[in-house]
Amino acid sequence: MKNAILFNFEVDKANSKISVSRSFHAPLDLVWAAWTESDILDQWWAPKPWTAQTKSMDFREGGHWLYAMVSPENEKHWSRADYLKITPKEFFSAMDGFCDEEGNLALTLPRNKWENSFTEKGEETLVKIQISFDTLEDLEKYIEMGFKEGFTAGLENLDQYIAAQFYLRKRNKPNNKARVSSYLNFPGNTEEAFNFYRKIFKSEFTNGIQRFEEVPSDPNQAPMAESVKKMVLHVELPILGGHVLMGTDAPKEFGMTVNRGNNMHINLEPDSREEAKRLFDELSEDGVVEMPIQDMFWGAYYGNCQDKFGINWMINYQEK
């Protein structure tokens, strides 16, 4: 039985610091990726109804993350996090502050230092965060701006994203025969799109349509929004020559944003681990590695990348 989610939020005015401890029902690899890869950060970092939008990210000591918090009216507030120290899957620290769209820091505005540590404890991962400010006045402004409420909402977005991905990816295919499929993301109209494709290709869905409401409920997580429950978690449709279209909704309630360019991946499922590694290494050469290929908590050897021509690929090897 799972333990309750740990969430401690403490304000230390004497030392101008905020300390946060938060546990996640997920393995270390997944939680680390959620904090250090821009495509996942963009899905949960901003408090709703705002969204996060990465312009560039170079996660290494001396690198930085340039991103905007975007309002529903498309108002953008830019920030830059400069990475100071990184110990993979254990710790990273960064200086965060406001800037312009080009990353030039606003020297008249304060910066704060984030120190984040990650510890795996059985089936959970504990993240401890310490945010240090130069002055008590800076800290109090941060609190007045609603940091606690916004950060809490973002962490709950991440909880729901992890739960949905865990449920989906545990649904292993019945064998490890090689196949290729196309994975499509929609902003909420997956069912409409796939009914359109079903009519054209005159085929039927494999195992019907799975919806977000089918994800087992967890009393330790925030209730799923009613607007999300009927959305499509996963659907598969055979089309021509054995090719399969797969699809999912990317709910804005989870902080997700679908744009042309990130709404489709070619999904490769090779028949061996060695072939998966070869495909990933060669496709990602001179491209962008979005998630390094590695053993994942749902039992697959998985990675995704964008090749040097801007095409998105998912590599997924699953033992039978």
**Mean pLDDT in residue range 68-95:** 95
pLDDT band at 2 (very low <50, low <70, confident <90, very high): very low
Give percent of the chain above pLDDT 90. 37
**Mean pLDDT in residue range 281-290:** 91
Spatial separation of the C-alpha atoms in residues 144 and 315, rounded to whole Å: 44
CA-to-CA separations, 299 to 218, 279, 316, in angstroms, rounded: 21, 19, 10
The whole-number pLDDT of residue 99 equals 95
* Of residues 107 and 260, more confidently modeled: 107
Write the pLDDT tens digit of every residue in 135-187. 999 899 888 888 888 888 888 888 877 766 655 544 545 455 777 788 888 88
The whole-number pLDDT of residue 281 equals 94
Quickly list H helices, the chain: 28-36, 38-44, 136-144, 147-169, 190-201, 226-229, 273-284
Go through the domains of the chain in sequence order and give each one's CATH number. Answer: 7-168 (3.30.530.20), 171-318 (3.10.180.10)
Half-sphere exposure of 260 (CA within 13 A, CB side): 0
The whole-number pLDDT of residue 1 equals 35
Write the pLDDT tens digit of every residue in 299-319. 788 998 988 888 889 998 886
Write the pLDDT tens digit of every residue in 40-50. 888 889 887 88
The sign of the torsion formed by the CA atoms of 189, 195, 201, 205 equals: positive
Write the pLDDT tens digit of every residue in 218-270. 666 677 888 888 999 889 988 887 788 999 888 877 766 777 667 888 888 88
The whole-number pLDDT of residue 255 equals 67
CA-to-CA separations, 281 to 60, 113, 172, 235, in angstroms, rounded: 20, 35, 24, 29
Spatial separation of the C-alpha atoms in residues 94 and 137, rounded to whole Å: 21
